[in-house]
Amino acid sequence: MIQVELRQELQDYTQSVRLWRRQWIDKSVELPPLKWERVRFNEDSKVSVPDTPGLYAFFIEPELANFPNHAYLMYIGKAGDKSKNTLRKRFMQYFQDKKRFDAARPKINKLLNNWDGYLYFYFHEITDPSTDIAKLEKLLLDTFLPSCNKNGFSVWISTILNAL
């Protein structure tokens, strides 16, 4: 009985991570230098998240055994593209998502609940109104292929991912 429970627990905490080297070395893709800030994903951190548009990402970071810094990129999103959302509003919306199960976003719900205490919110403010936030998000998605993202990839990447 214990083995069955442990097996189920391990399955519940299994996260996939995609690494596609081709996307990292593709010379036709040039990622701009971005200045990422990092906060622990908890409600106390909201004061550190700016009320501006930008990009954000969720990482799982174990911080155990004095390993060198390592993290698992799970999700990339945007705030303030065509909506009035800001990074802070988007940050706080995830606490609402955490409390209720959204059948349309089960990977996000699992991420927020299973990795509590090990989840970090990275953000990059975008203050230049001429910056195409959606294009920048798509570029990051196509480069890093975070496993909790379902939409936002370019058509050719979506086609490949859907075939997996």
The domain spans of the chain are 33-152
d(CA 141, CA 10): 27
Q: Which CATH number does 33-152 carry?
A: 3.40.1440.10
- pLDDT tens, 9-34? 888 888 888 889 988 888 777 888 99
- Write down the pTM of the prediction: 0.92
56-92: pLDDT as tens digits: 999 999 988 888 888 999 999 999 988 889 999 999 9
